[in-house]
Structure 1
Amino acid sequence: MIYFDNSATTKISPEVLATYDTVSQKIWGNPSSLHNFGEEAWNLLEQARQQVAKLFGVKASEIIFTSGGSEGDNWVIKGTAFAKRRFGKHIITTAVEHAAVRNSMAQLEELGFNVTYLPVDSEGRINPADVKAALRPDTILVSIMAVNNEIGTVQPIKEVGEILKDYPNVHYMVDAVQAIGKGLDSAIFSDRVDFATFSGHKFHAPRGTGFVYMKSGRKIAPLISGGGQERTLRSGTENTPGDVAMARAIRLVKENEQRAVQQEQAIKERIYDHLKKFDHVKIFSGRDQGFAPHILCFAIVGVRGETIVHAFEEQGIYISTTSACSSKKHAEAGTLAAMKAPENEATSAVRISLGDQNTIEEADKFNQVFDNLYAGFKKIID
């Protein structure tokens, strides 16, 4: 089996699973309990928080554990809207955000908020000048993803941050779910980014784990109210084994990051250069540094994306249509539509997403299988 769908989810690593199992069985007390067993769980949870913070060069108090990226996106967007609505109801985002951001914005629009959706160019990238032009006196939030989950475009996070230095009262959120372990930390944890969201299952941690980086001094309303956990910002009994295991997963990712980025880029280039040879293939992702090393989106124009996915599946290779969160809806990809890609190209698009466990040998096998499948498809599309 060749698994090229790591942007959908990654396999939990054995070391991380061992940590989860150990904590689950030996330190299963409630961190909010007053007795020693609860105190032991609380101390372990705080050690995990400190470890995450240290790995990213931030304060432990700036790390809030969540259940994943969708919760983090919903919380920061809605929490900012509810906390700052008396100052304004205008939000800026892009036309190519993940569904967790898009649908949160849509909900706020129903409540009377005004959202500006920034356009993108032919590579799926916004122009920072458009952010500055869209800013208004009533703007309360700018939300931009770091890496596009469909085609891998790296957005100009730093450049937007420079613009927002002149607007200190505007919250700046970065959806960094696809960016962890990809050599982009300097942009995500810059001086001007106020919030960043992360999801554990994207980097070999258990599903149902994640965290939000919240810069000191920034305030938002809680999304989940209850017993006051996570400094009253995210109530609910903490997922101690999951959060501790996630902290270990991050450490393993950071230790291996430079080698993994180089390896993923090499695999991507091997496949990219092969696909470029074919007449009916349209590649949407770039192979330069303007794109993440692990995502490659392409189409065999005239063949529907789900047909391509199942054809590779029959050969033991797992890829996806452009986003696992919407792939079963058979809808035109949101990012490609925003890029004004023709409908026949957008509906033919599929995504390869690499991980640190993939190899060049797998890329060569993919290329070999592609040749055989393309020959069969060519009879249909010629």
Structure 2
Amino acid sequence: MKLVYLDHNATTPVASEVLEAMHPYFREDFYNPSSIYSPAQKVREKVEEARLKVARLLNAEPSEIVFTSGGTEANNQAIIGGARANRKKGNHIITSAIEHHAVLDTCLRLEKEGFEVTVLPVDQYGTVSPESLQKAIKPETVLVSIMYANNEVGTVQDIKTLAHIARQNGSLFHTDAVQAVGKIKVDVKELGIDMLSLSAHKFYGPKGIGCLYIKKGVKVESLLTGGGQENKMRAGTENTPGIIGLGRAAEFILENREEMEKRIRELEELLRQGIKDRIPDVIFTGHPENRVPGCVSVCFKYIEGESMLLLLDQQGIMASSGSACSSKSLKASHVLLAMGITPEIAHGSLRLSLGKDTKREDIEYVLEVLPGVVEKLRAMSPLYRRGDG
């Protein structure tokens, strides 16, 4: 059976170049980079080289990169650490309705500490308007956290403008860029942001490693204590193989991103047009232009997304319905609901996300299989048989 992987927003395969770079640090160069003997110090040098590579990807300084276990920890560190460290300014936090739960749940956690949280709405494309931020922000606003690109629908926010509004108010600005880094250009200096989260496994690096960019001079309280690693920001022995892998993945993206983006966008358009031509009663979600390459989010009327995934899986097609982190939940996507899509339609959502290894024949195979899957499920739907709509 042919296997087609179209769930790259959930995770990506480790690039061969990345795996090769990591390999020595599991056995030959296994030393703790905090030890003082020379083999360990050589490992320390490689850790710092990786830090430099990540900094180059973001146009940051190496000292502004704090390695974490991934995007979730980076988001927690930025939001909790940033809010606590700057509480003298105020106790107000602003985020958006379409954030990943690693941001939303973290903000709700801070409510228990006395912080006030404002959740900004989005339009039908999943876009946060600068006007809504301007209206919500106030002198007590200590932190604004708005994601760069949405994990479900791919919409890219105007982070530069949103960060400018926060900066004018003297508020910290953090962006969850887990779905943006590796897909589009991300320049922290050009954006004017204070903090940014990323995760290696979203751009052909290993799982279990990410980082938080913290602009020089920004006060952030450490969440993990017990050691002086990461300039006392993140205690614990460094995940050396992961760090090396993240550095090589960052280097890989710098070398190949533009070429990959062009190719992926071409395949994405082929997939979108094929779905439009072959299947009636579909609604594409996300911004029609401002979106990351390779993310096709679509709702099929009269059917349920989980059933669609099971039938696609039987044909060797791997995809998702909304966020991979919440795929075990039968609730409609909070992202789609925030965009004004009804629960009935949101339940029929499908996310197909392409990557560097996706081939034209993969897209053609999906376009052969998907119409039959949708037709089969609709044939069992009472709503569709009655012709409602």
TM-score by length of 1: 0.96
Is 1:154 aligned to residue 156 of structure 2?
yes
Show CA shifts across 1:335-354 (max 9, x none). Answer: 01111211111111111111
2: distance between equivalents of 1:4 and 1:326? 17
Runs of 4+ in 1 over 3 A off after TM superposition: none
Report matched runs for 1:25-104 at 5 Å.
25-104=27-106
State how far apart, in whole Å, the 2-side matches of 1:105 and 1:189 are: 26
Partner amino acid, structure 2, of 1:82: R
Choose from 126, 132, 135 the match for 1:133.
135
Q: 1-side partners of 2:326 and 2:190: how far apart?
A: 31
Q: Does the CA contact (< 8 Å) of 2:97 and 2:338 recur in 1? A: yes
- Report Cα offsets for 1:178-203 as digits up to 9, x if no partner: 001222314x5425201110001111
User: Post-superposition shift, 1:162?
Assistant: 2.7
CA deviation after TM superposition for structure 1 residue 99, in Å: 0.7
Structure 2 counterpart of 1:283, one-letter code: F
Q: Which residue of 1 aligns with 2:336?
A: 336
Provide the rounded CA distance (Å) in 1 between the counterparts of 2:262 and 2:45: 37
Q: In 2, distance between residues paired with 1:18 and 1:25?
A: 13
**What displacement does 1:243 show?**
0.3
Q: Residues of 1 paired with 2:149 and 2:62: CA distance?
A: 25
* Structure 1 Cα separation of the partners of residues 157 and 136 of structure 2: 17
Inter-partner Cα distance in structure 2 for 1:182 and 1:205: 13
The amino acid across from 1:138 in the alignment is E
One-letter identity of the residue aligned with 2:57:
L
Pairs aligned (count) = 379
Please give the secondary structure, in 1, of the residue aligned with 2:180.
coil
Deviations 1:207-266 (A, max 9, x none): 101011111111100011111100000110001111011110111122111111111111
| 5+ residue gaps, structure 1 | none
Whether the 8 Å contact between 2:70 and 2:199 is mirrored in structure 1 is yes
Query: What CA deviation, in whole Å up to 9, does each residue of 1:95-141 have, x standing for no partner?
Result: 10001001101100121110110000001111111111111111100
Q: Determine if contact 1:285/1:295 at 8 Å carries over to the other structure.
A: no
Asked whether the equivalents of residues 150 and 335 of structure 1 are also in contact (C-alpha less than 8 Å), the reply is yes
Q: C-alpha separation between the residues in 2 aligned to 1:157 and 1:286?
A: 15
* 1:246 paired residue number: 246
Cα deviation, residue 53, structure 1? 1.4
Equivalent positions of 1:267-282 (< 5 A) are 267-277=267-277, 278-282=279-283
Residue 287 of structure 1 deviates from its aligned partner by: 4.1
Q: Displacement of 1:163 after TM fit?
A: 2.1
- The amino acid that maps onto 1:305 is G
Q: Which deviates further from its counterpart, 31-40 or 347-356? A: 31-40
Aligned-pair distance for 1:286? 4.1
- Output the amino acid matched with 2:186: D
Matches within 5 A, 1:113-262: 113-167=115-169, 169-186=170-187, 188-262=188-262
1:283 aligns with 2:284: yes
Native 8 Å contact 2:298 2:349 kept in 1: yes
User: Sequence identity of aligned pairs in percent?
Assistant: 36
Distance 2:378 2:281 in 1: 8
Structure 2 equivalent of residue 317 of structure 1? 317
Aligned partners of 1:7 and 1:353 also within 8 Å:
yes
CA distance change for structure 1 residues 330 and 189 in 2, over 3 Å: closer, same or farther? Answer: farther
Q: Is the Cα contact below 8 Å between 1:276 and 1:283 reproduced in 2?
A: no
Q: Deviations over 1:297-333 (max 9, x none)?
A: 1122121111111111111110001001001111110
